[in-house]
Amino acid sequence: MRILYVTTISMTMMFFPEQVKKLLAEGHSVDIATNMTDPLIPAYDSVDVKVHHIPFSRSPFSRDNLTAYRQLKKLVEQEHYDIVHCHTPNAAMVTRLACRKVRKQGTRVIYTAHGFHFFKGAPLKNWLMFYPVEKFCSYFTDTLITINSEDYALAQKKMHAKEVCYVPGVGIDVSRISAVSVDRCKKRAEIGVPEDALLLLSVGETNANKNHQLVIKALAKLGNPKVHYAVAGKGDQSECLLALAKSLGVENQYHYLGFRTDVFEWDKCADIFCFMSYREGLGLAALEAMACGLPLLTSNVHGINDYSIDGKTGYKCSPNDVDALYLNLKKLVENQQTRETMGAHNKEAVRKFSLQNVLEKMGKIYKI
């Protein structure tokens, strides 16, 4: 079987190396079509895949997407793939339009929606911009995969794909995460976190959607100098977050880690994981933190609700409610037993989202 993976940018392919390796091991061939402005992650260095540079843009209004459409249409019509599996909104829109002819010739088009931009509580502009496009393109979709319960229910009711499936994310390698070891005291000392301090951690882009600023505000409201907050990720709000911490007098408790390849080690050095996003298709970083035995402080939105259970996995609240987050934070900071109980629960609860489970479900969808 010949399979083409399509994503808008190459970084998105970081979620699929194990799926690709499994397909190759079973004797299938895999190509990748994506904007290769940045190289693929090292996990693909030893993987036998052919990569096609397609100049997708992350902006739906860019003329680059017209060029991408022409190039991708030519590619799929020349290569005669059995399956074209697309991800991310722009690439998925272009791909499904470009594959209209080859679908009639037997190519199956699969789209994984990693969280619709329109959902309960989403801004009206998201519904006006993204919903009509997704609904129209669903006519040219053989299988629509959703990764959270809310999107699954909406897709079953509103979309026109031949088949709608639910898969719990891209899968986390629980065994690999469990095997990670770290000198907790030494690692924390690298960024100036004292041995007796309690460390909050967030992992994700430093952008407006990830809402790290709410945690900084709750930290300041807590007024406890022995509680520190570290953020791993990069984005356009890195300097703004530091400025906010300074303005609130908690700059000595805030630590910007930047982009990290040792996230699991930091998970195992932390005491509480904070995930206050306004929107998440599911939220891989929080699931990985659960696998490391961390209690969660999360927002109560979209895909996060699939695993964040108030009072069991941790506590959750509105992403706009700093007072509620402060109270939730205070409860966890002041009760070590609660943190440990919730962390132990999370290690077990996260197995639903394991890589093994996801690979089995994808195999059934691919019909291989």
At 17-52, the pLDDT tens digits run 999 999 999 999 999 999 999 999 999 998 999 999
Mark 190-219 as b/e (b = at least 16 C-beta within 10 Å).
eeebeeebbbbbbbbbbeeebbbbbbbbbb
Q: Which pLDDT score, from 0 to 100, does residue 16 have? A: 95
Radius of gyration of the chain (CA): 21
Q: Which pLDDT score, from 0 to 100, does residue 60 have? A: 84
Strands 29-35 and 272-275: unpaired
Helix 336-349 to helix 284-291 angle (10° resolution) is 110
End-to-end CA distance of the chain: 9
Q: Which pLDDT score, from 0 to 100, does residue 121 have? A: 86
DSSP state of 231: E
Q: Which helix (H) or strand (E) holds 7?
A: strand 2-9
Give the residue-averaged pLDDT of 271-295: 97
Q: Which pLDDT score, from 0 to 100, does residue 306 have? A: 96
Mark 245-266 as b/e (b = at least 16 C-beta within 10 Å).
beebebeebbbbbeeeeebbbb
Residue 307 has pLDDT above 90, yes or no: yes
Residue 346 has pLDDT above 80, yes or no: yes
The 3-class secondary structure across 242-286, one letter per residue, is HHHHHHCCCCCCEEEEECCCCHHHHHCCCCEEEECCCCCCCCHHH
Residue 285 has pLDDT above 90, yes or no: yes
Percent of the chain past pLDDT 70, that is, above it, reads 100
Residue 61 has pLDDT above 90, yes or no: no
Percent of the chain past pLDDT 90, that is, above it, reads 95
Over the chain, what is the mean pLDDT?
96
Q: Which pLDDT score, from 0 to 100, does residue 53 have? A: 97
Give the residue-averaged pLDDT of 348-361: 95
And the tokens for 336? Answer: 């070590």
Predicted confidence band of residue 368 (pLDDT cuts 50, 70, 90):
confident
Mind listing the pLDDT tens digit for each residue in 112-143? Answer: 999 999 988 889 999 999 999 999 999 999 99
And the tokens for 267? Answer: 């998970």
Task: Specify the amino acid at residue 15.
Answer: F
Q: Which pLDDT score, from 0 to 100, does residue 357 have? A: 95
Give the residue-averaged pLDDT of 219-226: 98
